[in-house]
Chain A
């Protein structure tokens, strides 16, 4: 039979089963049916304990009936499969319903193991696995005072946390001598124990429970093998998991000696048409009790059904988690069991930190690690371990607290398997292959690998990797901006200033060639704006700007724009808020609060923008420059005005800074934040410029970054008064504007700057280059010539002409269509469009 499989039946709808459905539903032509024994569709079991800290079953849900309907998946809850006819390829449920399949996917999961202790079936002896279990635990906890978790592994400690949150006096009883014996070594386990006991959870190790009988003060009494006992009202068993493999046993699929449905590298069971994934599957005699390997299995299975050749080849079991507020991490060979390996240990009792790394006999490879109390190095340690990156000479430097810089991983150290572009799944190896096949610059690498053609967030990393590889091959990396200018952005900046050049045409005629391109035009536009601060849509400059700047809004995927009025410091009066609401309602705009403490209105057609902005400006608002490579927001907390912890008036400072630097054009967007105290509610250390109040003034942090490659800001100066703070920011920012490459954030700029932070301190604090007066003057000029671009635009009849879709008609673009979701608009997808997509493109098949 060579016909394509059509009917896919999935047994079980846990996280992994759902992931498979999601993967499979991406492909047309398959009829997917989900049979779930539970009465709920898939929910997030990893975050189950959050059910007790206020999350509802709906919050934990990973899918909804509506979603399955939307993607065309049939599903049945309370539909326990009781029979499989492998020859006829039919499954039957308890209720007697039958479902035919071409491919069957078993994702039945696992159940908690309850040790055979006499008394284990008493009331209030429970397990911790499903939402139903949580409801039972909640009910039992209401009636009791004391709770015990049997099992001190990862899940057991999660369960203990749940009991604690329910207000019970909590105990953990563990058979082994230490907690989390799988992931931690003895000393790590000991520290974790003392930390857990420090928050009031009692830990009993090396205890074997003989029986559970009636208690005197509590419901139960647990009698231990060593003669001791413990009284409790609730008992939770968390002593490991067992796969749900009874269907497989009953209908003759191969199962392992100790349970689990045997699968091969394709996740296929002993039957050609049946797959098993997740915690019910036994691969290489191993059951993976984590969700990530399950997801990989789901992907592999979907790929195989589609005729692909992906394989499941095991999974890394390293983990990093927060247990009861404590950081714990474990990588690879945590127990140092590899022959000849050596360990480095850092232990800090006062701060409750324990770190160990295990290295190979030759000291070159990282084999494992244990981190308790501080997991900040987990990510880079994991990269070393997974990719076999050679360790530095003194590997202990990786875990020691040090005053100076930690060794960081450069692009050279990234393995070929490292993903560079996650949208298109392009690895460093793919980029190298493209270069080996003749690509000689980033553009060519992009067009042959498609890297960077998704969200584009990897552009800087892609360039770094490409340049580095080219350099390794002896290719000279040109710092030329593009084919039209044989200068870098910094050099062009100097030319513009020195020769007082005010337009692109003059610059390209005197110092460049050709007509320019989408790289040099916006870059020069930005330089001209930073130096002269003209209205950016003046006719000389208009054709230089990216579309976001041309229409003063952020273009969305359907060609509509978003509208973001400025709200300095995130402060807004009720009256202005009402106007925003009215405008959003009148123009039917999707409304969302942004991460930068302001409001984003989506779905405005180009012809609607001027009228929308007129309303906002009439109400006293101005452009938020959300579209520009310029200052975005200054995030803030309320500071000493309202907050009982506040040290300074962070609100007033944030508003002052936002108004001071608004409109400044720069190589990339700039974000600020001001926090009123060291609690740092405004997250200033993740911003280009971060200001944190102290008792004596302000601490200044620079070059922090959220986004794709987060970076904590560096502490630049402490306890500054207002005046010095502003001077420092003026100088720092203007030096960045002058010297950074196009599209380079302050973080990458500083990291690549020769001399780094120390050099910047010399310049800004000690006027090392003797240019501070000039930097300040230039900043003053930008501040003095500020204008709200939207105000200027709506006051110009010439400009307003551009804001229509058609030069010869007043109709609007019929291809822009919306549908309603959660009571607001969103762009219609192709199949939802009434008129269909107007395809006016012609496919060209090369002859």
Chain B
């Protein structure tokens, strides 16, 4: 089953929390963790922690190592790079990433 991806309006950017995460629900019921890093950049990745098997990644801490910005799972601390989805602690895992854009103060996700 495939569905056509589209840009979906999620929320005003004011609803994001700087240097921390919130979670959005897409039309196809996928959960997306959104992280605003600094003032401008918003990353969107799957909210599902493939190690802990729970929808929790938006509650993880944001960190940075050698320029890579990542979220550390709040369950067992595995780190996922926000722009690629790669797991820094186990390269057999990765999570899905999504494109984001801001139009008229509204955050949109392509998914």
Contacts and interface: CB of A to CB of B under 8 A. Distances in A.
Contacts of B53: 830, 837
B61 A521 contact: yes
Interface string B69-110: 100101111110000011011111111100000000000000
B94 A841 contact: yes
B66 to A, nearest CB: 8
A547 B54 contact: no
A805 interface: yes
B59 A483 contact: no
Interface string A513-527: 011111101100000
Given A837-B53, A840-B31, A841-B93, A483 B60 contact: no
Contacts of A539: 18
Contact of B76 (A456, A606, A811, A814): A456
B71 to A, nearest CB: 9
Interface residues of B, number: 53
Contact of A843 (B48, B61, B93): B93
A3 interface: no
Contact of B94 (A811, A816, A842): A842
A805 B89 contact: no
A503 B49 CA distance: 30
A112 B16 CA distance: 72
A550 to B, nearest CB: 7
A375 B35 CA distance: 56
Given A841-B48, A842-B94, A547 B74 contact: yes
A521 B70 CA distance: 14
Contacts of B50: 839, 841
Nearest to B87: A844
A806 B21 CA distance: 11
A844 B77 CA distance: 19
Contact of A557 (B23, B46, B52, B89): B52
A225 to B, nearest CB: 67
A543 B79 CA distance: 16
Given A559-B55, A840-B30, A811 B25 contact: yes
A138 to B, nearest CB: 49
Interface string B26-68: 0001110010010000000011101011111001111111100
Contact of B91 (A547, A551, A846): A846
B90 A447 contact: yes
Contact of B55 (A815, A845, A846): A815
Contacts of A801: 15
B22 A807 contact: yes
B11 A808 contact: yes
A92 B46 CA distance: 55
Contacts of B61: 517-518, 521-522, 543, 546-547
Nearest to A542: B20
Contacts of A806: 23-25, 31
Interface string A640-659: 00000000000000000000
A546 B25 contact: no
Contact of B63 (A446, A516, A548, A839): A516
Contacts of B37: 515
A354 B95 CA distance: 61
A802 B17 contact: yes
Contacts of A814: 29
A130 interface: no
Contact of B54 (A484, A521, A558): A558
B63 A515 contact: yes
A844 B97 CA distance: 13
Interface string A444-487: 00110000010010000000000000000000000000011000
Interface string A422-451: 000000000000000000000000110000
Given A515-B69, A521-B63, A844 B75 contact: no
A557 B54 contact: yes
Contact of B11 (A514, A543, A807, A844): A807
Contacts of B24: 806-809
B23 A805 contact: yes
A838 B46 CA distance: 11
A515 B62 contact: yes
Contacts of A802: 17, 22
B72 A518 contact: yes
A608 to B, nearest CB: 15
A443 B55 CA distance: 25
B95 A841 contact: yes
B94 A517 contact: no
A328 interface: no
Contacts of A841: 46, 48, 50, 93-96
A623 to B, nearest CB: 18
Nearest to B38: A515
Contacts of A483: 65-66
Nearest to B18: A543
Nearest to B95: A841
A807 B64 contact: no
Contacts of A517: 61, 63-65, 72
A772 to B, nearest CB: 36
A619 to B, nearest CB: 28
A550 B64 contact: no
B64 A840 contact: no
A586 B53 CA distance: 27
Nearest to A560: B54
A544 B83 CA distance: 21
Interface of A: 446-447, 453, 456, 483-484, 514-519, 521-522, 539, 542-543, 546-548, 550-551, 555, 557-559, 606, 801-802, 805-809, 811, 813-816, 830, 837-846
23 contacts: A447-B88, A453-B76, A515-B19, A515-B37, A515-B62, A515-B63, A518-B77, A542-B20, A557-B54, A801-B15, A802-B17, A807-B34, A808-B10, A808-B25, A815-B54, A837-B53, A838-B48, A839-B48, A841-B46, A841-B95, A844-B86, A844-B93, A846-B91
| Interface pairs A-B: 8 shortest CB-CB | A517-B63, A547-B74, A543-B19, A841-B50, A515-B64, A518-B72, A559-B54, A518-B61
Given A517-B61, A518-B77, A547-B74, 19 more contacts: A456-B77, A483-B66, A516-B64, A521-B61, A539-B18, A543-B18, A557-B75, A801-B15, A806-B25, A806-B31, A807-B15, A807-B22, A809-B25, A830-B53, A838-B29, A838-B55, A839-B50, A840-B47, A845-B92
